[in-house]
Amino acid sequence: MPDYATLAPSAPWRELRTTRADWDDADPAALESMLVSAHLIRAFEEKVLDLAGQGLVHGPAHSAVGQEGGAVGSAALMRAGDQINGSHRAHHQFLAKSIRYVAPAGLASADDFSPAIRDLAQRSLAEILGLAQGFCRGRGGSMHLRWAEAGNLGTNAIVGGGVPLAAGAAWAHKRAGKGDVAFAYFGDGAVNIGSVLETMNIAAAWKLPLCFFIENNRYAVSTHVEEATAEPRLSARGSAFAIPAWKVDGMDPLAVYLATKEALELMRNGGGPAIIEADVYRYFHQNGPLPGSVFGYRDKVEEAAWRTRDPLDRLASEMEHRQIIGSSGVAALRERALALMADVAAELVEQADGKNRIKPVLWPDEGFRDHGIRGDLSELSGQRTEELETFGGAIDGNAKFIDTVANVMQRRMATDDRIVVMGEDVHRLKGGTNGATRGLAAAFPDRVLGTPISEAAFTGLGGGIAMDGRYLPVVEFMYPDFMWVAADQVFNQIGKARHMFGGDIDVPLVLRTKVAMGTGYGSQHSMDPAGIFATSPGWRIIAPSTPFDYVGLMNSALRCKDPVLVIEHVELYNSTGPAPVDDLDYFIPLGKAKVVRHGTTMTILTYLAMVRPVIEVVERLGVDAEVIDLRSLDRAGLDWQAIDASIRKTGNVLVVEQGARGTSYGGLLAAEIQDRCFDWLDQPVQRVHGGEASPSISKVLEAAACARPADIERGVRQVMADQGRPLG
């Protein structure tokens, strides 16, 4: 029979329970401030439910009535520089952190509410109602609450989606070295999501000052926590990642306060992340003013039992026991909180035809609909721009493309200490798998971060760094197909953030990736991501086809305050072309295409590795075609001035791309051209693209799946034939 040894986790996992002595020793001012905050939050939530019941909340009203203890207990010790984010049920956390920000000295139960508290309540309620004066100007509503000044990074409708973003804020705090921390609030429904667990791992590995605050309210909508996991003590997750964890009664605000105090000491002193699991209970259904028992997934006995443990009552009774406050004082506080919310709501709602309605003047103007999808690129104004033909510096006519990729990043990191590079193996293998980060780890060891294989976590972490604003992340996807693993962070989070949070936040992030068609890496490593990213309006997309263009476009990408996808191609990596010898500081504007061959019979639009073969084909055939290297591929970045001018001249268009038909960029482009340029076209837009299927491993089948010179030739011949000018 084998011997067995019981293994212990590397980090402590403890349940913290308050004692009579803890309550007797607690700071009266801290207890009083928590009580006032809890009553303000309760009154706020009840007003939200009241308005929802009247049909005045358009969309969900995810209240946290009953869960206030976790929010006020954890926020009570935060300082202004600390940051938080949360999930869809986060009014209480948003308010608790914001109250702490506007009243850092605390709140007294007998004092009148300050103008700052009133303004906070009104702007928060206005946001939930979708009004222009809300924190996100009505775009966020109940689920997307952001007030960066107060340390609220933004709450999130995707369950668990904000956790990697909070890790980015925590990384920025660690880098800044001021002792500030980040809190990611989420519930039992998020604990088993991959991006959350990935983030726990990376936070522990990198010792980030991040608290994973789990509000275990036992129900993900109607599914009970014990149905969802075999280990319903959710703080147990810490043992898997060597993260110290505390389990507390979230209906006991002092227990949360004491656990948070210990966690903050750990995080502020460089001890890495912490987990706090607070057992709480939402009194109402997932959404709206009815209890869960109405929907049959829990009963009234259970609900009543939890209500006897109300966190507001617990605080008040303990304070009464110590004679800090009397019952009449508690009642007066309650009435003042309700009156505040009644007054605030009255400023937003009016009566018309005997019914309440939102005051029409408060709605956002419809013209605000698309404002702030992306920035205005004013950050690029005044920069020195160059094109190869007019460049006055020394040129190496045979520079290797991949060397230029590494050289320009070396230059930018040397001149801008905000830049941090992250991705799988970027710090090893002489510059990653292709050499694109060659020399960077040696020169900037603390700013080149080799990540675990966890695209969701490190992409979201990069997004969090970008939204924090102090540092500039450059994230590498080894292959673009991996974007599907991180799709939530790429599209729901990073791509939508600026617009979703009101249109005025910056998201300066560069995402590099390479198209690997022709390398034999098969269907899951070979896609061209342009067509997919072009459907996400928050992203800018560049696709340099020469070393010279790569320098100028990458400089613009790194200066841009929007997220920018930089598409590279393995066929180009080992190619040679003109590149500057020592001047790596010029810019090529985003949204500026380049006519690389002038002509009059047709316009050929292409990009990346297809530019050179297109030129070779038309010159071999002797066709007077105009070839345009698009360079910028997002809808906002298409150079319609150049495209329109060419089409007016030629009347015929051929779009050439290498990749699969299903994820095609050319289909989107062709549709745009048909809409904009129909009157100038002599025939429908023609296209050259790969097959329907993704490239596969077989060398023969892979070649057949991609557009080749023969396909380009067929496309050119077809356009000429449809003009009545067939080629011989």
The tokens of 394 are what? Answer: 């020394």
Alpha-carbon gap, residue 253 to 663, rounded angstroms: 51
Low-confidence ranges of the chain (pLDDT < 50): none
Alpha-carbon gap, residue 19 to 679, rounded angstroms: 80
**Amino acid code (one letter) for 67:** Q
- Three-state DSSP at 226 gives helix
First to last CA, the chain: 85
The tokens of 479 are what? Answer: 């292959």
Rounded to 5 degrees, what are φ and ψ at 686? -100, 155
Q: Which of 589, 597, 641 is nearest to 617 (CA)?
A: 597
Alpha-carbon gap, residue 157 to 140, rounded angstroms: 10
pLDDT value for 524: 84
Alpha-carbon gap, residue 567 to 516, rounded angstroms: 11
Judged on CB neighbours under 10 Å (0-12, 13-18, 19+), 118 is middle
For the chain, which domains are there?
22-368 (3.40.50.970), 378-580 (3.40.50.970), 594-723 (3.40.50.920)
* Catalytic residue IDs: 455, 525
Query: What own/partner pairs with CB < 8 Å and gap ≥ 24 does 388-391 have?
Result: 388/546, 388/548, 388/549, 388/578, 391/548, 391/580, 391/583, 391/586
pLDDT value for 334: 98
Q: Any idea of the CA torsion for 96, 100, 102, 105, to the nearest 10 degrees?
A: 150
Q: Which of 376, 394, 377 is nearest to 588 (CA)?
A: 377
pLDDT value for 530: 93
Alpha-carbon gap, residue 100 to 21, rounded angstroms: 26
The tokens of 184 are what? Answer: 């990611």
- Determine the length of the chain: 728
SS3 assignment for 87-126: CCCCHHHHHHHHHHHHCCCCCCCCCCCCHHHHHHHHHHHH
Alpha-carbon gap, residue 595 to 649, rounded angstroms: 13
The answer to whether 333 touches 312, Cβ cutoff 8 Å, is no
